[in-house]
Structure 1
């Protein structure tokens, strides 16, 4: 590596570290690799130093080993959510997968990418997220709809969903203020805010999910550990049979709720 480039990366590391970036060296390497010109590099560094999420600055994120496009304002897929995709993939192959609150479409992409015969459908209320998901899922010929939960879905999907991925927002409203600034300021509020106890959106999903699930179909959702008992009760009241899958290392919990056969 030439001395000037080493010096340039070193300067970027210093700027990022001064801005509080914990992984400044790794981030600097990514920014320099992504830069199309000196001006583009400076623009990216300035945005990151100002607090924009690295994924928004780069225009992509890595999730479960897959690179997905991410644009400004769109929820960045979290590595903790890989437990949900691991659980989902253990249930494959299936005929139909529905990804609600799909964001970038990362969950559906990871779950269905090795199963070309699967019918993959996704929805999100945010048009920016829908645009991202359509780009990320184009190779799977997935149908991505813009609208509130089940509302925009075609009626022929009712009663056919074998696997429902519902990574709904579950942060209690009062706790959003404690989230890192890059999430709280730069991601859509609707992708974070789950209402007073964080479970309002899950309640709405649970009310409608049985009509869309196939016999024996499974709904998968992520929840905070303190929310697990309430989440199970919500899903049980909807006529589903829930069980909890946990990962102590990441302190992540997924609820898998099965529709009656």
Structure 2
């Protein structure tokens, strides 16, 4: 491809509002098989479709995670959730990834451990299909349903780690999200109810029934909401602490089931 074509692609992307136009142009060029396909990809990206939906994947914790249309795109800050969970997990542990979306968190955790018994859950059929592909290499099992109701009852009291990147945007704040998220990602994966904490409450309430003694629940939240998340965890009998990464603007609340 000639230099002029590359420059015109960058100009088209930048003029449509793409902040990282050069990087996106490189990705689009590398993923296209023909000039016609490239032109089409550039245009739909310029029209606002998220880059990850255009090229069909994203990089997450060193893994190539497939992203189908209308499936939530895992954010860079969520890698902090994986790192926090990794520090508490051993090979062979039973791990549940709630509200799994593309399956990125569970896949990344299983990948860095070199082995985990992974169960992923989402209520959205499109997410379940996507997660099944992304966790297949790690022998993950993916269930469609409403949180713990989707899981085998035989897991109760035996789970070592529950990770949950639940939706935590307050319903009234959805309209303030970037256009790409509002238009192209499922509202189900964004809307956390009136205060953004509805799903966190439900995940934390049942966690002690499913966790083994000494097991952990880890939830991504916002710094602003973290004190409320801590209260939710504590009110359900979990020993609670908070982890924060300012560079990623990432906040994780960790709850541990007592050993007694």
Q: TM (normalized to structure 2)?
A: 0.96
Distance 1:36 1:71 in 2: 19
1:38 alignment counterpart: 35
Alignment of 1:1-261 (within 5 A): 4-94=1-91, 95-261=93-259
SS in structure 1 of the partner of residue 242 of structure 2: strand
Unaligned runs of 5+ in 2: none
Alpha-carbon shift at residue 8 of structure 1 (Å): 1.3
Question: Matched residue pairs, number?
Answer: 258
Alpha-carbon RMSD across the aligned residues, in angstroms, is 1.1
SS in structure 2 of the partner of residue 244 of structure 1: strand
SS in structure 1 of the partner of residue 100 of structure 2: coil
Distance 2:89 2:211 in 1: 15
Unaligned runs of 5+ in 1: none
Deviations 1:46-97 (A, max 9, x none): 1101101100101000112211000110110000111111111111215100
Alpha-carbon shift at residue 39 of structure 1 (Å): 2.4
2:76–2:248 contact (8 Å) kept in structure 1: no
Distance 1:114 1:229 in 2: 30
SS in structure 2 of the partner of residue 81 of structure 1: helix
2:48–2:180 contact (8 Å) kept in structure 1: yes
2:86–2:112 contact (8 Å) kept in structure 1: no
Q: Which runs of 4+ in 1 moved over 3 A?
A: 114-117
Q: TM (normalized to structure 1)?
A: 0.96
